[in-house]
Amino acid sequence: MRIVPTAISVLFASALVLSGTTAASAAETRLVTAHGTFKAYSPDAKAITYKPELVPAGARAHVFALTGNRIGTTTVLAVSGLLPDREYGAHVHTNACGATGDAAGPHFQNQPDPVKPSVDPAYANPRNEIWLDFTTSRLGIGFSSSHVDWGFTDRHPGSVVIHEMHTHTDPGHAGTAGARLACVNVGF
């Protein structure tokens, strides 16, 4: 898995150069990386598992994000050590991880839904939120990426949460993906 962070960092750097980013706009562009090994909650944990039968202690996660107002936000999630051949949901959430999955708060939305919880497809969708659903390989490795046309301004999310299933898109259920299985702190 060590080659994955290097390859993705090179990819992001290349995208930044090829996008025609100037020195002025480069200051508005941020590359964020986070990684951790899943374990039970502790205040200093970078990656927390809430359901070790589905996200085992010792599994690993890497998150990379390139964000800026002129280039949007590209986010990549790479995991290893999860259950093989299994679908998981994953989203960027508003708060950092905590003792329970609920501590991460709701999905981060560019245009916040005035109704909570947000299950309206006009707000709970992969253009207004960052969805990173993935299916693991037979070796328990998963990879996902997302691109949205907006960057973070005065509000910044705090984590990526791995959910029980792929994300629903139908009205009344849009954005839901079952239980919160694990969380990775990310300093977006």
What is the set of domains in the chain, with CATH numbers?
3-185 (2.60.40.200)
Residue 68 CB coordination number (10 Å): 21
Decide if pLDDT at 23 tops 70: no
Structure tokens at 92: 């960027």
Say what the pTM is: 0.88
Instruction: Kindly write down the DSSP assignment for every residue of 81-132, as one continuous string.
Output: SS-TT-EEEEEEESS---SSGGGG-SB--SS--SSSS---TTTSSTTTS-B-
Contact 171, 147 (CB under 8 A): no
156: helix, strand or coil: coil
pLDDT at 81: 99
Overall average pLDDT of the 121-137 stretch: 99
